[in-house]
Structure 1
Amino acid sequence: MPRKGMRSIFYKSSSPTPAPFPTLSDSLMQQDIETAESLITKWDYSTHNYQSTPLFSGPRQEAKRYLNAVKGLQSAMQHLITQDSSSNTLVRAQSLMQLAMNTLEKEFYTILSSNREHLDPETVSNRSSTDRRSSVSVSDFDDEISEDEFRVSEAERVSMLAMADLKAIAECMISYGYGKECVKVYIIMRKSIVDEALYHLGVERLSFSRVQKLDWEILELKIKTWLNAVKVAVRTLFHGERILCDHVFSEDSAKRIAQSCFAEITKDGAMSLFGFPEIVAKCKKSPEKMFRILDLYEAISDHWPQIESIFSFESTLSVRSQAVTSMVKLAEAVRTTLTDFETAIQKDSSKKPLPGGGVHPLTRYVMNYLTFLADYSGVLVDIIADLPESPLPESYYRSPMRGENAPGSELSERIAWLILVVLCKLDGKAELYKDVALSYLFLANNMQYVVVKVRKSNLGFLLGEDWLTNHESKVREYASKYERVAWSKVLSSLPENPAAELPAEEARKCFVRFNAAFREACRKQSSWIISDPKLRDEIKVLIGSKVVNRYSEFYEKNRVGTEQVKKVSPDEIGIFLSDILYGNGIGDSGSVSSHSSSTPSSPLRRR
């Protein structure tokens, strides 16, 4: 064989290997990279070619094309990695992806900052729940949201579009491994909004030592501010942030990110908000402060379902725990104050009888206090459940539902017990009067005040009609005893049978005795008082009917022949009686002021 032929056989492979023919996938990959490069460089913030209008503020189709280009670039990169992980094309694609993520991060920031007003928690929280959320999903975020279709305000429409854009960007960045950068921007922007809102609501980070030094008037103002703040914070601020966070990071892969973001944004503010009541509960206690303590407890209790729902994540467990701790401490403060209140009643040691037998300041103070207390019956039912059972006599009061553990029965018995404690104290004070009739009048006055307060307030609902009936009968009993003792001398000055005609001399003596006894009774009782107008009229009618009826019979039978005796006519008796039981200028206000030192002096204040 010729040598040339042999060479041609053995050295044929020394010539260059031709490049493989490009496949369809290679062509599509290259096209995706070129499309992505065109759009990504066009919207590159760092170049002078960058458009002055942010990407997501322009036509929505452009933003959609950009996100689709990034998606295509990611697909191309995955294809390149399987082919040649060290190719120059892959390096170029990675640079473009980094550039795209930088652009999206800045767009994300721009949307958050330029839409602060439209993404405020109130606007967000006013959105209806799932149907509207789905209407701006990433799949159709580029479509204009028709005001006719959704019938929403312009502000809400802008809010919905901004939320759709944020969701689309977040999903894109998280999907391609840039979630950390996205989350950082989101937390910084939204936390500043939450903190600023709480500041304007008057929420402060206060220490126990500072609160303890505040005058009660200042602390009460801060409590009022807090009561308003907690409504807005729970119903609007935290609620709106939860909705926004859940929407922006709504993809399954971003659920844990949503939880983390929401916790970082709201945790500090929420802990300060729900920690304030615990601090107040630890401060010095007094009966007058208890109503504000109850206001705080009631506010957290009323909002607890929302608090539990909004802060449902494991990462916000500390917020829920703080709210519960505050409620526990407030409840303890209420129970302690109630116990101290009962002790204060029992220790009342005033020994001076009240002039005129009117309503004692202790009665007024306790009943006004209990009246206000009854307005909180809804929360008190839960709070006093841990108090020891009151030693209430079975014959005095027992809730008919007691054996069935009826809600409110413990509270009813606690209220009844406190009233019994003050009534027992009044029994002791009645013994201070030297005049037995005046002591009965004193008891009638105070029992009537108690009954009226109960009937005209929520106490009536708690204590029930049977309780009221029993105590109204006590008023009548005391009034009857007063009338019998106070007017017995006057009635006994008349003959046993007033219709009998007496000898002139004996009739004259009867007129003299009656006149003296009647005038003395009226003189004495002109300084006595019945505070309740209705009760006063009823008693005066009762007195008048007995005295006038008996005296009129005697007067008609014996006035002839006794003309020389100065006597009261039946018609004049009513005139004399009209001047009694008004206190003769002493009045309740005078009696109260003269004894104010023996009872708690701070006025009861409400809401």
Structure 2
Amino acid sequence: MPRKGMRIVCFSPKVSSSSSSPPSPLRIGYSPSRPSFSDSVMDRTLEMAEPVIMKWNPETTTVARVTSLFYENRREARDFIKTVNNLQKAMHFLAGENSSSEKLARAQNLMQIAMKRLQKEFYQILSMNRAHLDPESVSTRSSRTSTGSSTSYNDDDEDDIRVADESISEVEDASLLAMADLSLIAECMISTGYARECLKIYKIIRKSIVDEGIYRLGVEKLVSSQIHKMNWEALEVRIENWLNAVRTAVKTLFNGERILCDHVFASSDSIRESCFSEIAKEGAAILFAFPENVVKHSKKSPDKVFRVLDMYNAISNHWPEIDSIFSFESTNSVKSQALTSLIKLGEFVRSAINDFESVILKDNSKSPVAGAGIHHLTIDAMSYISNLADYSNILSDILADSPPPAKNVLPESYFGFSDSDESPAPAISLKMAWLILVLLCKLDTKAKHYKDISLAYLFLANNLQYVVVKVRTSNLKYLLGDEWVTKHETKVKQFASKYERLGWGHVIDSIPSDPTAMETPEKAKEAFKKFNSSFEQAYRKQGICVVQDNKLRDYIKISIARKIFRLYREFYNAHEQKMRRDRNSAAAVRFAPEDVGHRLSDLFFGHVESGSSSSFESSPSPSRPRREIELSNGPLWPGRKKESD
């Protein structure tokens, strides 16, 4: 009979029900004086097993006490495991016929010695290879997809083992070697009924590694009273530590521990589950409970929302790994805790955004901004809203179930973009548009504090332009769309036009509609005086104005210059010579076209002094370079004339 077939007959654990009865005398070849077949198998097994096991009995040999079996000779270690497995099979076979056999007691004694040896080896491998079995090494050198196969060996596997062993030795992958040895020992101890002793060692050592890893990552369990006593700056430091820790904990610490546990106890699903659960559940619960404790026990305010969003993002991004690593039923509480933290974080974010809206509505500052410039509320609010837009992916989840803004109280054109029942806008887009709308409505009320209505419109143009630029240069553009941007750019131009009409209209009206049609020098003199008075008054009043945005500044300047500079130049060229010849009329010509151009060029930097006519006699400030703006049909300011001039 082939050798493999003989092994199956001798060591098969499946014993027929009749084997528990004494052999029948009627069987051919049976003799009461002859040993039974099972006795013969046991005799041979004991003969082979005793020297192998006793050699490594730490109570009888000095070598066994100071030397590691797996470290000394890995092939001998595998032979030791096979010997123990064969002894177990023979004991099972013999126990079915004669449970009180002296040979069985002798085999049991050998088995206990072998288990003590393997227990010691298991502990030594775990202890001596802490560096090679740290979660980072395990998670980077192994994969959970390759750990589910059995690690038991038989004679047919011997060549494969040798090749694999040589290959592993070549790359010196100590972690994989240690994992293979641990798996071999664990399977042997579990199959022989010594799982408890094996698990006790494993859980103690590996749990200490996980707990130490959590501690080194700076994660600690905080009670509500501790969080209550912390100011936000101190708590923010803890949050920063947690954000740095969660990625390492999920991708390395818990993932590596799950890989190792799956590999070592691949032969038993129930043992893998109970072992990993006991090792990792406590540390994971502390890790994922931290965000919930932060939002539950710290005061809600809009400025905290970004750190809370960071924590939400950390759990959300790592959820596939969390779900996979803690897939056992006994670790469902870990996933439940992570989900609870997500829910609480989302609630905090929604509440904080609503509080932010309230902050805008409650702003009661009434002092007009100098120069009709940009209000601090506009800057702060748009900074906050654009930063929110950077979290659009997770805000889409958080705001998905939120009730839509009550925009039906305002016309759709004011809201900013189309949103119909047939094609509803995403909740995040609606929320961002609504927050900006609340800001713009608040700015409308602040514009009413200007006594000069022209400055009110410039204030609105300045602030809306700031909003539009902030939208166009941030993720808000993708949330609100080009339609929103186009509509609000149009509103900026409308505000600028109203400012121009109210602030400069009387200057424009002071220039005769037909500059060359003056009948008498006296009428020309009156026209010059009227222009001088109107221009000086407008220049002094509007000279304090500020337009920070370059494009808007140029747009307003060009628009005013088109209506003032060219008409005045035609009027000046037509009547200046006649006025100069008349001594009484010469003084009426106060501004050359170049002077008008220079004054207009210096507008909207907020540096023109008001209240002194000397500012009209002085040159433009040398500290601010003049920007000459060209129209489509030639230069606007003197100094770069067209060739045709």
Residue 191 in 1 paired to residue 207 in 2? yes
TM superposition shift of 1:335:
0.7
Residue 205 in 1 paired to residue 228 in 2? no
- Conserved 8 A contact 2:258-2:276: yes
**Who is 1:342 aligned against?**
357
Residue 440 in 1 paired to residue 457 in 2? yes
TM superposition shift of 1:401:
6.6
In structure 1, C-alpha distance between the alignment counterparts of 2:241 and 2:350, rounded to whole Å: 25
TM superposition shift of 1:53:
2.2
- Look up the SS of the partner of 2:590 in the other structure: coil
1:401–1:249: structure 2 CA closer, same or farther, 3 Å change rule?
farther
**Who is 2:24 aligned against?**
none
One-letter amino acid matched to 1:250: A
TM superposition shift of 1:153:
4.8
1:384–1:134: structure 2 CA closer, same or farther, 3 Å change rule?
closer
One-letter amino acid matched to 2:604: L
1:221–1:131: structure 2 CA closer, same or farther, 3 Å change rule?
closer
TM superposition shift of 1:93:
1.5
- Conserved 8 A contact 2:151-2:187: no
In structure 1, C-alpha distance between the alignment counterparts of 2:493 and 2:174, rounded to whole Å: 72
Write the deviation string for residues 65-93 of structure 1: whole angstroms up to 9, x where unpaired.
Answer: 11111122213322432343223322222
**Who is 2:632 aligned against?**
none
Q: Output the TM-score relative to the length of structure 1.
A: 0.89
1:330–1:507: structure 2 CA closer, same or farther, 3 Å change rule?
same
1:475–1:153: structure 2 CA closer, same or farther, 3 Å change rule?
farther
**Who is 2:623 aligned against?**
none
1:30–1:47: structure 2 CA closer, same or farther, 3 Å change rule?
same
- Look up the SS of the partner of 1:204 in the other structure: coil
Greater alpha carbon shift after TM alignment, 285-294 vs 533-542: 533-542
- Look up the SS of the partner of 1:116 in the other structure: coil
**Who is 1:403 aligned against?**
421
TM superposition shift of 1:522:
1.5
Out of 154, 162, 170, the residue aligned to residue 178 of structure 2 is 162
Out of 21, 28, 51, the residue aligned to residue 41 of structure 2 is 28
Out of 132, 136, 153, the residue aligned to residue 122 of structure 1 is 136
Residue 272 in 1 paired to residue 290 in 2? no
Out of 222, 237, 246, the residue aligned to residue 253 of structure 2 is 237
**Who is 1:493 aligned against?**
510
**Who is 1:41 aligned against?**
54
TM superposition shift of 1:101:
0.9
- Higher RCO (Cα < 8 Å, 6 or more apart): 1
**Who is 1:357 aligned against?**
372
Mapping of 1:93-172 within 5 angstroms?
Answer: 93-129=107-143, 132-133=146-147, 137-139=151-153, 143-144=161-162, 153-154=171-172, 157-172=173-188
**Who is 2:596 aligned against?**
573
In structure 2, C-alpha distance between the alignment counterparts of 1:131 and 1:277, rounded to whole Å: 31
Percent identity between the two aligned chains = 52
In structure 1, C-alpha distance between the alignment counterparts of 2:269 and 2:567, rounded to whole Å: 92
- Conserved 8 A contact 1:399-1:409: no
In structure 1, C-alpha distance between the alignment counterparts of 2:256 and 2:546, rounded to whole Å: 61
- Conserved 8 A contact 1:300-1:327: yes
The count of residues paired between Structure 1 and Structure 2 equals 564
One-letter amino acid matched to 1:298: N
In structure 2, C-alpha distance between the alignment counterparts of 1:496 and 1:166, rounded to whole Å: 100
- Conserved 8 A contact 1:42-1:49: no
TM superposition shift of 1:307:
0.5
**Who is 2:233 aligned against?**
217
**Who is 1:595 aligned against?**
none
Out of 314, 324, 327, the residue aligned to residue 312 of structure 1 is 327
- Conserved 8 A contact 2:136-2:253: yes
**Who is 1:605 aligned against?**
none
- Conserved 8 A contact 1:515-1:568: yes
**Who is 1:15 aligned against?**
none
In structure 2, C-alpha distance between the alignment counterparts of 1:77 and 1:356, rounded to whole Å: 99
Write the deviation string for residues 182-202 of structure 1: whole angstroms up to 9, x where unpaired.
Answer: 111111111111111111111
Greater alpha carbon shift after TM alignment, 393-402 vs 429-438: 393-402
1:131–1:196: structure 2 CA closer, same or farther, 3 Å change rule?
closer
Out of 563, 575, 582, the residue aligned to residue 558 of structure 1 is 575
1:286–1:136: structure 2 CA closer, same or farther, 3 Å change rule?
same
- Look up the SS of the partner of 1:487 in the other structure: helix
Q: What is the alpha-carbon root mean square deviation over aligned residues?
A: 2.2
In structure 2, C-alpha distance between the alignment counterparts of 1:535 and 1:580, rounded to whole Å: 12
TM superposition shift of 1:133:
3.8
In structure 1, C-alpha distance between the alignment counterparts of 2:88 and 2:484, rounded to whole Å: 80
- Look up the SS of the partner of 1:203 in the other structure: coil
Out of 440, 449, 452, the residue aligned to residue 423 of structure 1 is 440
In structure 1, C-alpha distance between the alignment counterparts of 2:370 and 2:525, rounded to whole Å: 36
TM superposition shift of 1:273:
0.3
Write the deviation string for residues 409-437 of structure 1: whole angstroms up to 9, x where unpaired.
Answer: 11111111111111111111111101111
